[in-house]
Amino acid sequence: MLDAMLNDVPRRYRLPELDSACEPALDASPATTLALVIEQARAALARGETPDVACQDRFTGALARMVREATRADGGDPVFQAMVLRHRAVPVREYASLSVRADQDRRLVHAAVNALAHPGKQQRLGPGPQREALARLHACAGAGAWNELHDAAQHLLEISHTPASAGEAPAARGVIQLLEHPALARLRRLDALASDALVMEYRTLWERYGPRSGSASAVAQGLSARQRGEAAEALAAQALQALAQRLNAAVGAPSPYRVVTSMRVPAAIPAAHQHAKSEWDVVLLRQVAATGDTAGGTPAWDVCLLVEVKASVDAATTDFPRLLRGLRLLAHADKDAVYPFATREGTVPLRGAALCALPSAATALSRTVLYCCDAPPEPAPRLLSAAARMQLLSATPTLDFAAALMAGTPVDARALEPVWHALLEAPGWRAVLNQYAVLRQVRELMVHTDDLLAAV
């Protein structure tokens, strides 16, 4: 019944297999042309052939068109334009590099300030200049005023050496360490760069893409996305609950099927957990009938179906490598062990033997894994994945090409030939070369949540 249901669920996100001989339409978008040409190149390499010059020219021409579209002042891609600006402007590169660790630097400075001027420490001092200086230091940290904080620390160091402050001052070494802290120096430099004209343009481009990280708008968007995700997960769980009820009705007592959510992989499984999926959204389980497979007298369970809920095809495609690593992680379970998996419904013992038997090859997942999505299918599906597009645009020759375009310098599409050669030869480009095959695999595993519930 389970196999029949999985076979019958409509796959509204499915993509066709591309004919290696098919040519891009004259009016095809650059992204579609790139997807077709890349797939032709992959097929040629798989046959032991070298893609011809005509294929290379179609690739560089389409990539040049995509760059021209992305760099348009009206309707272009602000993220790509920000990347190009960072690539060609030293102050922007420095600002972007400092911004990456700014949150960590703020935490380090706040910790150093609290060690000196936490309100509790201030209360232990009597009224006077020392207490006022500490209060000012703490206020500057709270406001993120890094230059003022440096001045306040300098002032605190100066008054700590006066006779009137003897015995009351914080350790001078701590103040000196704060003044010399590399994190404080980086934050002050970040503030100084923020007024640079090119940096201001860079920040404006990013703000066009979306609200700044940590802002009220970003927090609101994150909350809204989390709520939508939780609603989609609840609907997927509802579909699997209905499936479990039908399976139990078909089997009769003792109702061996159940559904759990947010199933977390225990650290006891002997394999590297890094970069692997370690939490599964919705899981259909079947209780083991054999009496020997128990955990402390409690019957153990086997995994029947793993369901991941995603907001879009792009999100699932990005998640797919983690999902495969997650399956390989489960396959490292000891076949003679029973592992406790934490879920929202409580701890569930799963048999290692069944975990070892889960498929981990990308081509063998159709009976074990589903991606659930509630997004409507696109009228014209994108054949070039978001990750592949970004890697193509992020390549140094592409950024050089775009920088020349934005500077008004004439540039030929042949300047992009190094990207083509990297695509064919470099291991780091294998994911782009295989991107359509992976996109098809992911979409084969995707079902709309409504279709899943209807099929059950």
Stretch 53-64: mean pLDDT: 96
Predicted local confidence at residue 212, as pLDDT: 63
Looking at every residue in the chain, the average pLDDT score rounds to 89
Q: What are the pLDDT digits (tens) for 191-227?
A: 999 999 999 999 999 888 766 665 666 566 667 777 7
Predicted local confidence at residue 90, as pLDDT: 95
Which pLDDT band holds residue 252 (cuts at 50, 70, 90)? confident
pLDDT above 70 for 393: yes
Phi, psi of 64 (to 5 degrees): -60, -40
Q: Could you tell me which residue, 158 or 65, shows the higher pLDDT?
A: 65
Percent of the chain with pLDDT over 90: 66
Which among 221, 132, 140 has a CA at the least distance from the CA of 168? 132
Beta bridge partners of 417: none
Contact 372, 284 (CB under 8 A): no
Predicted local confidence at residue 116, as pLDDT: 87
Predicted local confidence at residue 168, as pLDDT: 47
pLDDT above 90 for 130: no
CA–CA gap between residue 344 and residue 260 (Å, rounded): 7
Q: What are the pLDDT digits (tens) for 154-186?
A: 998 888 766 555 444 456 788 899 999 999 999
Q: Could you tell me which residue, 389 or 1, shows the higher pLDDT?
A: 389
pTM equals 0.80
Predicted local confidence at residue 295, as pLDDT: 58
The strand pair at 301-310 and 294-295 is best described as unpaired
Beta bridge partners of 340: 349
Number of C-beta neighbours around residue 240 at 10 A: 26
Stretch 350-362: mean pLDDT: 90
Contact 258, 244 (CB under 8 A): yes
Predicted local confidence at residue 320, as pLDDT: 94
